[in-house]
């Protein structure tokens, strides 16, 4: 089977379907000799094409069978691309896998060994699973389980819990596995070279291997391997096969390795074993394009391939190969070629420099911006006249990260719509995965169909997966609440927005039976036939109703037969089927645009979930769906799934430089070239020293040489940059931020000089941008042409071009009052002052506008409940009650919660002290309703006490701000309570005599700064000259509430207003378009005579008629808007949609 013995391919090798230059023909000819080869060349020199051509010609010659040939690449995705190219080249599909990744080959060898031994197939542990296993082992040691590990002092228990520490630990274990080091070997090296962290890691490594070995001994499971050990184990098996002359072993006559620069030491040992078994090796490498340094790649191996094979396995990578060098790049144009040459010149020569490009020395000059094609910056170029049709290099400086992303979106859309470049021929490359996903989100918002490779989220955090699993989990634990159902409805499964969910709530509320205690959503979606009321509602037959039925079906599917049917695959599939969104997502994915990208991502995530479920079922037979969810929840890092995913040709790929290796596009943008970010010169493994270990074992040094280590990091960063810049077949653009806090990276100068100016960001190249530009230009230039363009766009369905949709152009959507004529108007005592203080804020808060933190309100409600239920308890008893009910607030653990608990305890102590100093109350939470001509005041009184002077009303306050003594005398809330008792409006309170006088009212502050009870008193209404002022105030509030127009006023409460930023009298809330209502229209909003404490005090001191004879109030100043200079009349409906967000 030795490839060098007979079966020579001969001239048939040269019968290729494309033209080859002399150097490439020499490689093809050398490959036909049967000798092992190592071929080096720069980007675009044809290495990958030659690897496919050699395999194809070998097969087509008839001298080789398909099973004799193997083409290897560094990754699964590059193997898939090479496999497609190979099948296309030979014109047919082959049974088996002739093209695969090195890891896939290793798995196949281990699987063959398992079959020879009669054991089940092996199982490959994913990165997230390995991380979870290590986290579990470390957690056990932190809790004191097992034999203690003596970590160095700098590695504390807190460090052991960090994901970053586990990442370095996985890296260290991978370096050990690649070099065949056992835990004992690692410990010996640690003691020999004074590395105590290696000694400690060796003990954990031994435990990890023991856990892995334990899983291998399970009879119904195959051996379990992770990415750190699979290639090394395969190399050991292949070597054993050769030594033992195993008859039924896997053998190949021709092994072609593309991207050999990314091979690890373990991979080199595996290739050596294949060569010793008779395989001809053909290795293709460019040491300057190694992108797997973080995974232990050895770009220097290409320089060792021509050395004679060693006698043992320690002399790795020595194959006695013939060296061939490709010098020409066929993909790169002259300008990009020079860029690549300049970058490679700064990279350390790990495997020679014969393959590198050289910079052509030409006299250069600066071209003016006017000479460049549209939208491009000034660059260095030759003195020859530039051809606008030829690709150029551009460098763009932005003022911020957001502007950089916006300009990239503009530039890609320009290339697509003006230069007619397909989306798929554009790519954006970045240094890190986090930046990639940030760019994807920004580009999608700008209308570019951008997609990243893989996800930056662990499986449990994928929106589509998280919501599906949460539906199962909440249903089975009966833990649905209003917020969770709202999240389900606005997710990709429900596909509603917040406004639609609110409309659904309204429809369910109208149709709900009286007396329902649960929320509308919980009652309707979690009960059988809970949506029957929707059939007669106004949302029947709409997407809103369809979304509600889908959500209810998912919950029903998760609930069905869960007592007996607990198979994870069956349960998840049933809920997925009930969601009924596969066709909808697939249809969205087939279109072009950001929505298509999201649909693709959701489908990919669900495919990954079911692939994970399949693997889970194989490993844990009979496990429950709860076990599955727990397993997924413990995975903290994203997984590279083997599940089939969509190939969308109409997207712009956003990738890291490593992901882009081996790819090419017509237009490439390299983004995020910031100082400190690219190159990132931080040492990767300063804590555990994985790279130091690799250098030590490989004989490259035995000490922490920081200078050499930093140079190695710089070389890796430059290799990434070279790969990124060499992916283009046409134009290249680099972008960065140049601002106060961000500076361009020095490597930008390797591409072209910095631009002399930073241009303004042009309007977006989408319909919205065209409309915006037309509107702005129409105000500054002759408007006819721009108006015609807007009219044309409006006729063709561009909604934003229609003036009727522009802000401020539409008339009020409704002039009807908030309360229809003839309907009763109710107001609570606590809202009475707010109606007069600012009618706009009252309307906003009535419509559920709330501030960001609702803790104060929730805590106040809890304190009031405790005071109601325990009106005579002392501080100690109340503290026990508070502790029992604290969980009702649903706060997470942490310092803020501790601070809030202290605040609550202080209030409860003050309440207990107050209750102990006073006799038991006559009534608590006493409800009342005062009916007048046009208004009803209804509410409840916290506490009523009987004194020698009469009844005293007490109202608890839990806020920190204490009202002034003067303001308390005319507080509308206390006055409303007094009015209720005087008019006999208390309900079901037998202990209160209607004839008993009211002696006054008090505000009891429990949360004041002094940490004690603070009181503010209000005298009896009967003692005031005009006791009817509160009734006048309530009636005028009814007029304001029932008006179709409201006033917004600047007042002392503006700083806490939840709609402060949308208020038309605040600078940040000013309308974009001035209101055009006539002056007399602005006087329709009734003004208030009681908006300040001073005016209320004036009313209380002025004799007036009885309120029941009053018919018109508050109009004396309504015709004089100047009376309240800081007020603006607003339309509640229109402004509510436009500003109250």
- The whole-angstrom separation of Cα 656 and Cα 665 is 14
> What six digits make up the tokens of 1060?
């402060």
pLDDT at 1120 over 80: no
CA distances from 798 to 591, 770, 771, 1092 (A): 19, 11, 9, 49
- The whole-angstrom separation of Cα 605 and Cα 713 is 34
- The whole-angstrom separation of Cα 202 and Cα 188 is 9
pLDDT at 643 over 70: no
3-state helix, strand, coil in the chain (%, to 5): 50, 10, 40
The angle formed by the CA atoms of residues 172, 706 and 177, to the nearest 5 degrees, is: 15
* Cβ–Cβ < 8 Å for 608, 459: yes
Strand, coil or helix: 707: helix
Residue closest to 745 by CA, chosen among 724, 725, 721: 721
Q: Which residues make beta-bridge pairs with 1015?
A: 1004
pLDDT at 1128 over 50: no
- The whole-angstrom separation of Cα 74 and Cα 267 is 10
> What six digits make up the tokens of 70?
């193997």
Q: What is the 3-state secondary structure (H, E, C) of 372-438?
A: CCCCCCCCEEECCCCCCCCCCEEEEEECCHHHHHHHHHHHHHHHHHCCCCCHHHEEEEECCHHHHHH
* Cβ–Cβ < 8 Å for 628, 568: yes
| Fold classification of 364-455+649-750 (topology level) | Rossmann fold (3.40.50)
Phi, psi of 189 (to 5 degrees): -65, -40
- The whole-angstrom separation of Cα 625 and Cα 768 is 47
pLDDT score at 258: 92
pLDDT at 701 over 60: no
The angle formed by the CA atoms of residues 209, 608 and 266, to the nearest 5 degrees, is: 35
| 239-260 tens-digit pLDDT | 889 888 888 888 899 999 999 9
pLDDT score at 967: 92
**pTM recorded for the entire structure:** 0.64
Least confident stretch, 288-297, 357-366, 578-587: 357-366
> What six digits make up the tokens of 506?
């309204």
CA distances from 222 to 92, 117, 232 (A): 34, 11, 18
Residue with tokens 């309440």: 911
DSSP string, 499-543: HHHHHHHHHHHHHSPTT--S-HHHHHHSSTTTTGGGGGSTTTTSH
| 1074-1111 tens-digit pLDDT | 655 544 444 466 788 898 889 999 988 886 544 443 43
CA distances from 902 to 266, 755, 859, 899 (A): 59, 58, 12, 5
Residue with tokens 């009618």: 839
Residue with more model confidence, 3 or 173: 173
Phi, psi of 145 (to 5 degrees): -85, 150
Local structure of residue 637 (DSSP, 8 states): S
pLDDT at 516 over 50: no
* Cβ–Cβ < 8 Å for 580, 618: no
pLDDT at 706 over 80: no
- The whole-angstrom separation of Cα 79 and Cα 104 is 10
* Cβ–Cβ < 8 Å for 662, 260: no
- The whole-angstrom separation of Cα 73 and Cα 662 is 10
Total number of residues shown for the chain = 1141
Local structure of residue 1127 (DSSP, 8 states): E
- The whole-angstrom separation of Cα 310 and Cα 844 is 81
Local structure of residue 368 (DSSP, 8 states): P
Least confident stretch, 473-477, 564-568, 661-665, 972-976: 564-568
Residue with tokens 């709860």: 626
Q: Mean per-residue pLDDT for 376-398?
A: 54
Q: Which residues make beta-bridge pairs with 451?
A: 653
Residue 150's Cα: distance from chain center in Å? 38
| Fold classification of 810-1141 (topology level) | Lambda Exonuclease; Chain A (3.90.320)
pLDDT at 665 over 90: yes
* Cβ–Cβ < 8 Å for 316, 265: yes
Q: Mean per-residue pLDDT for 822-835?
A: 83
pLDDT at 1002 over 90: yes
Q: Mean per-residue pLDDT for 1104-1120?
A: 41
Residue closest to 586 by CA, chosen among 526, 629, 513, 645: 645
- Assign residue 1133 a region (left: φ > 0; alpha: ψ between -120 and 50; beta: otherwise): alpha
Residue with more model confidence, 194 or 869: 869
Strand, coil or helix: 731: strand
| 709-738 tens-digit pLDDT | 778 888 889 999 999 999 999 999 999 998
The angle formed by the CA atoms of residues 1077, 1081 and 1087, to the nearest 5 degrees, is: 125
The domain segmentation of the chain, as residue ranges, is 123-226, 364-455+649-750, 459-633, 767-805, 810-1141
* Cβ–Cβ < 8 Å for 814, 1069: no
Confidence of residue 97 (pLDDT cuts 50, 70, 90): low
* Cβ–Cβ < 8 Å for 767, 793: yes
pLDDT score at 703: 54
| 311-351 tens-digit pLDDT | 655 578 889 899 999 988 888 888 999 999 999 998 888 77
> What six digits make up the tokens of 760?
């303004």
Residue with more model confidence, 609 or 1141: 609
Return the number of other C-beta atoms located less than 10 Å from residue 400's C-beta. 14
- The whole-angstrom separation of Cα 8 and Cα 15 is 15
pLDDT score at 383: 35
* Cβ–Cβ < 8 Å for 267, 102: yes
> What six digits make up the tokens of 870?
């325990």
pLDDT at 433 over 70: yes
- The whole-angstrom separation of Cα 1025 and Cα 1098 is 10
* Cβ–Cβ < 8 Å for 229, 45: no
pLDDT score at 1018: 93
Return the number of other C-beta atoms located less than 10 Å from residue 150's C-beta. 10
- The whole-angstrom separation of Cα 364 and Cα 185 is 57
- The whole-angstrom separation of Cα 889 and Cα 745 is 49
pLDDT at 177 over 60: yes
pLDDT score at 1140: 31
pLDDT score at 389: 45
Local structure of residue 808 (DSSP, 8 states): T
Peptide bond into 679 cis (omega under 30): yes
- The whole-angstrom separation of Cα 24 and Cα 28 is 6
Q: Mean per-residue pLDDT for 225-251?
A: 84
Strand, coil or helix: 713: helix
pLDDT score at 683: 66
Local structure of residue 972 (DSSP, 8 states): H
Residue with tokens 């809103």: 544
Maximal CA-CA distance, the chain: 123
Strand, coil or helix: 706: helix
Strand, coil or helix: 1111: coil
- Assign residue 428 a region (left: φ > 0; alpha: ψ between -120 and 50; beta: otherwise): beta
């Amino acid at each position: 089977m030795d490839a060098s013995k007979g079966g020579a391919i001969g001239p048939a090798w040269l019968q290729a379907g494309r033209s080859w230059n002399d150097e490439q023909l020499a490689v093809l000819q050398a490959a036909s000799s049967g000798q092992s080869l190592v071929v080096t060349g720069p980007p675009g020199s044809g290495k990958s094409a030659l690897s496919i051509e050699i395999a194809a010609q070998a097969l087509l010659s008839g001298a080789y069978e398909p099973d004799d040939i193997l083409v290897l690449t560094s990754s699964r995705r590059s193997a898939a691309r090479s496999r497609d190219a190979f099948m296309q080249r030979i014109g047919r599909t082959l049974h088996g896998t002739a093209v695969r990744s090195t890891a896939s080959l290793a798995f196949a060898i281990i699987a063959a060994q398992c079959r020879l031994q009669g054991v089940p197939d092996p199982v490959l542990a994913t990165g997230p699973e390995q991380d979870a296993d290590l986290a579990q082992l470390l957690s056990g040691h932190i809790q004191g389980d097992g034999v203690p590990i003596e970590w160095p002092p700098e590695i504390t228990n807190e460090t052991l819990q960090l994901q970053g520490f586990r990442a370095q630990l996985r890296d260290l274990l991978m370096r050990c596995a690649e070099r065949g080091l056992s835990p004992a070997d690692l410990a010996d090296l640690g003691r020999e070279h004074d590395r105590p962290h290696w000694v400690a890691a060796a003990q954990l490594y031994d435990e990890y291997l023991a856990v892995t070995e334990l899983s291998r001994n399970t009879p119904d499971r195959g051996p379990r391997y992770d990415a750190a050990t699979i290639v090394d184990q395969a190399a050991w098996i292949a070597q054993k096969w050769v030594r033992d002359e195993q008859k039924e072993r896997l053998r190949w006559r021709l092994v072609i390795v593309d991207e050999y620069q990314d091979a690890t030491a373990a991979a080199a040992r595996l290739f050596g074993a294949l060569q010793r078994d008779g395989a001809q090796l053909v290795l293709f490498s460019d040491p300057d394009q190694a992108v797997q340094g973080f995974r232990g790649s050895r770009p220097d191996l290409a320089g060792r391939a021509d050395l004679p094979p060693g006698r043992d396995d320690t002399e790795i990578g020595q194959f006695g190969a013939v060296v061939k060098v490709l010098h020409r790049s066929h993909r790169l144009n002259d300008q990009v070629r020079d860029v690549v040459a300049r970058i490679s010149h700064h990279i350390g020569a790990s495997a020679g420099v014969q393959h590198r490009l050289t910079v052509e020395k030409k006299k250069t000059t600066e071209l003016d911006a006017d000479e460049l094609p549209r939208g491009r910056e000034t660059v260095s170029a030759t003195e020859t006249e530039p051809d606008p049709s030829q690709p150029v290099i551009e460098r763009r400086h932005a003022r911020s990260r957001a502007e950089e992303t916006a300009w990239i979106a503009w530039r890609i859309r320009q290339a697509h719509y003006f230069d007619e470049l397909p989306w798929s021929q554009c790519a954006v490359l970045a240094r890190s995965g986090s930046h990639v996903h940030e760019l994807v989100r920004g580009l999608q918002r700008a209308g570019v169909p951008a997609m990243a490779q893989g996800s930056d989220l662990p499986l449990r955090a994928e929106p589509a997966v998280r919501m599906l699993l949460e539906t199962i989990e909440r249903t089975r634990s009966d833990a649905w609440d209003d917020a969770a159902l709202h999240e389900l409805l606005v997710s990709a499964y429900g596909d509603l927005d917040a406004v639609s969910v609110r409309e659904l709530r309204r429809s369910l509320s109208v149709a709900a039976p009286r007396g329902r205690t649960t929320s509308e959503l919980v009652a309707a979606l979690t009960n059988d036939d809970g949506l029957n009321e929707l059939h007669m509602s106004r949302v029947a037959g709409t997407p809103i109703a369809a979304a509600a039925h889908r959500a209810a079906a998912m919950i029903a599917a998760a609930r069905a037969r869960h007592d007996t049917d607990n198979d994870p695959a069956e349960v998840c599939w049933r809920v997925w089927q009930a969601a009924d969104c596969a066709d909808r997502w697939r249809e969205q994915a087939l279109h072009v645009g950001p929505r298509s990208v999201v649909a693709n991502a959701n489908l990919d995530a669900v495919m990954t979930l079911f692939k994970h479920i399949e693997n889970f079922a194989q490993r844990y037979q009979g496990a429950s769906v709860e076990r599955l969810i727990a397993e997924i929840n413990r995975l903290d890092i994203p997984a590279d799934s083997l599940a089939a995913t969509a190939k969308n040709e109409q997207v712009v790929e956003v990738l890291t430089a490593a992901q882009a290796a081996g790819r090419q596009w017509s237009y490439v943008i390299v983004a995020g070239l910031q100082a400190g970010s690219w190159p990132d010169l931080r040492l990767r493994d300063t804590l555990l020293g994985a790279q130091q270990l690799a250098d030590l074992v490989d004989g490259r040094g035995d000490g922490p040489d920081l200078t050499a280590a930093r140079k190695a990091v710089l070389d890796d960063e430059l290799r990434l940059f070279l790969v990124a810049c060499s992916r283009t077949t046409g134009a290249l653009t680099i972008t960065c931020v140049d601002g106060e806090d961000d500076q361009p990276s020095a490597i930008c100068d390797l591409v072209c000089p910095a631009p002399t100016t930073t241009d303004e960001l042009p309007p977006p190249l989408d319909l919205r941008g065209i409309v915006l530009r037309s509107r702005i230009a129409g105000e500054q230039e002759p408007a006819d042409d721009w108006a015609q363009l807007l009219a044309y766009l409006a006729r063709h369905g561009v909604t934003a071009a229609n003036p009727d949709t522009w802000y401020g152009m539409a008339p009020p959507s409704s002039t009807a009052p908030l309360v229809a004529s003839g309907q009763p108007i109710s107001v609570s005592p606590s809202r009475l002052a707010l109606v007069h203080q600012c009618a706009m804020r009252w309307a906003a808060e009535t419509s559920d506008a709330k501030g960001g933190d609702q803790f104060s309100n929730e805590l106040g409600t809890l304190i009031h409940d405790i005071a109601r239920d325990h009106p005579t308890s002392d501080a100690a008893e109340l503290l026990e009650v508070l502790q029992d009910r604290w969980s009702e607030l649903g706060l997470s653990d942490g310092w803020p919660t501790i601070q809030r608990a202290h605040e609550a305890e202080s209030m409860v102590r003050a309440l207990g002290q107050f209750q102990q100093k006073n006799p038991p109350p006559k009534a608590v939470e006493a409800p009342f309703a005062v009916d007048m001509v046009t208004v009803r005041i209804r509410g409840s009184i916290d506490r009523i006490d009987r004194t020698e002077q009469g009844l005293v009303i007490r109202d608890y306050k839990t806020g920190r701000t204490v009202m002034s003594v003067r303001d308390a005398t005319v507080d509308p809330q206390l006055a409303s309570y007094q009015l209720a008792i005087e008019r006999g409006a208390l309900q079901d309170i037998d202990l209160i005599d209607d004839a008993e006088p009211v002696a006054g009212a008090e505000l009891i502050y429990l949360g004041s700064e002094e940490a004690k009870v603070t009181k503010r008193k209000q005298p009896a209404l009967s003692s005031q000259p005009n006791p009817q002022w509160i009734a006048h105030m309530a009636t005028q509030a009814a007029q304001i509430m029932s008006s179709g127009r409201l006033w917004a006023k600047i007042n002392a409460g503006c700083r806490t207003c939840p709609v402060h930023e949308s208020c038309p009298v605040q600078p940040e809330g000013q309308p974009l378009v001035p209101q055009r209502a006539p002056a007399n229209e602005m006087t329709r909003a009734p003004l208030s005579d009681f908006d300040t404490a001073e005016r209320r005090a004036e009313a209380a001191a002025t004799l007036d008629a009885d309120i029941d004879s009053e018919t018109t109030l508050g109009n004396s100043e309504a015709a004089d808007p100047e009376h309240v200079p800081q007020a603006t009349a607003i339309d509640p409906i229109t402004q509510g949609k436009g500003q109250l967000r």
